């Protein structure tokens, strides 16, 4: 829950069952609990950011290789259960809006937000509005092939950018190098790297090189004024950001955009859901 300025004033972490049919009631219960605990507040709406592309007009899920949930039932079920308006969109699109509403952007120049998590998604804000493309598919740079012999991607192709530069890629590099099998999360991997563990450092450096390589592609294709990175890697940007930037700036065409991590770090995706509500579909 945030105020109108996007400041987080309360939050719940809901541990979800693996079965999607059971997870939606758990989400609804979590929302109701937050509303009940803050009964003195007026609620405007609920935002949901998704790791997939939706057709906003048809409320249809178009492309979500990393999501095996009945997403289309989210909106009506939560609206009925809470009586509040629900807005949902791709997480990267939502993060782009969040940069305009709450971040360091003035909303007058073009920017691209790259959301790095289990996959990679991009939100493009150009000419004063989100660029959605046909069927809402603009920004799927994570599924452009980087290595034709690379790992199999959830989309069915091999060597997509997200297979070599996402959180899952970093964890894979760590395991392949002989790192401890007990390290299962990006947060744990980053903590190991910050403590100087050799395999963890190398894994995140490899991820960072590929991340910079893909960002170079975005800079050459779109020439935005800014490219903003969102995700767990931003918590160690002081250490791995220079690796990303060094790879990013190899091509002269990529020297123009300002490259930076999101100012609100790992809370960017939380505030992005709020931006969807604040935006009220106007962009």
Alpha-carbon distances of 214 from 47, 53, 92, 208, rounded to whole Å: 29, 20, 15, 10
DSSP result, 26-40: HHHHHHHHHHHHTTT
Residue 283: per-residue pLDDT: 39
Report, at the CATH architecture level, how domain 107-263 is classified. Answer: 2-Layer Sandwich (3.30)
Q: Where are the domains of the chain?
A: 107-263
Q: What are the structure tokens assigned to 168, written together?
A: 């899952």
Residue 22: per-residue pLDDT: 81
For residues 135 and 278, give the distance between their C-alpha atoms in angstroms, rounded to a whole number. 23
Q: What are the structure tokens assigned to 59, written together?
A: 């409320």
Bridge pairing between strands 111-116 and 85-90: unpaired
pLDDT at residue 152 tops 50 = yes
Report whether 65 contacts 153 (CB < 8 A): yes
pTM of the full predicted structure?
0.83
Residue 281: per-residue pLDDT: 44
Mean local confidence (pLDDT), 191-200: 95
pLDDT at residue 202 tops 60 = yes
**Percentage of the residues of the chain whose pLDDT score is greater than 70:** 88
Q: What is the pLDDT of residues 236-251, one digit of tens each?
A: 999 999 999 999 998 7
For residues 198 and 85, give the distance between their C-alpha atoms in angstroms, rounded to a whole number. 48
Q: What is the pLDDT of residues 130-151, one digit of tens each?
A: 888 776 778 789 999 998 899 9
DSSP result, 183-220: --SHHHHHHHHHTT-HHHHHHHHHHHHHHHHHHHHHHH
Mean local confidence (pLDDT), 4-25: 83
Phi, psi of 273 (to 5 degrees): -65, -35
Q: What is the pLDDT of residues 76-124, one digit of tens each?
A: 888 999 999 988 888 888 888 888 887 777 777 899 999 999 889 899 9
Q: What are the structure tokens assigned to 133, written together?
A: 């493309």
Q: What is the pLDDT of residues 60-85, one digit of tens each?
A: 555 455 555 656 677 888 899 999 99
Checking phi first, is residue 138 left (phi over 0); if not, alpha (psi -120 to 50) or beta? beta
Q: What is the pLDDT of residues 252-261, one digit of tens each?
A: 665 678 999 9
């Amino acid at each position: 829950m945030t105020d109108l300025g996007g400041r987080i004033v309360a939050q719940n972490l809901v541990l979800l069952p693996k079965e999607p049919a059971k997870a939606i009631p758990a989400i609804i219960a979590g929302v109701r609990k937050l509303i009940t605990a803050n009964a003195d507040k007026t609620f405007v709406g609920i935002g949901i950011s998704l790791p997939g592309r939706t057709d906003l007009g048809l409320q249809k899920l178009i492309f979500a290789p990393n999501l095996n949930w009945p997403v289309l039932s989210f909106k009506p079920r939560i609206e009925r259960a809470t009586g509040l308006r629900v807005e949902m969109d791709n997480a990267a699109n939502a993060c782009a809006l969040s940069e305009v509403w709450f971040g360091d952007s003035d909303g007058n120049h073009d920017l691209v937000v790259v959301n790095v998590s289990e996959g990679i998604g991009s939100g493009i804000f150009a000419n004063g509005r989100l660029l959605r493309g046909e069927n809402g598919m603009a920004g799927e740079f994570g599924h452009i092939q980087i290595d034709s012999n690379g790992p199999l991607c959830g989309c069915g192709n091999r060597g997509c950018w997200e297979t070599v530069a996402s959180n899952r890629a970093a964890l894979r590099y760590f395991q392949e190098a002989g790192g401890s099998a007990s390290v299962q999360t990006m947060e744990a991997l980053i903590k190991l790297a910050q403590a100087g563990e050799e395999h963890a450092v190398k894994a995140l450096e490899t991820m960072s090189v590929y991340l910079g390589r893909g960002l170079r592609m975005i800079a050459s294709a779109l020439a935005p004024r800014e490219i903003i990175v969102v995700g767990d890697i931003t918590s160690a940007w002081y250490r791995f950001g220079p690796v990303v930037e060094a790879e990013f700036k190899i091509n002269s065409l990529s020297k123009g955009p300002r490259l930076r991590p999101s100012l609100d770090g790992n809370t960017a995706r939380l505030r992005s859901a709020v931006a969807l509500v604040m935006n009220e579909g106007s962009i």
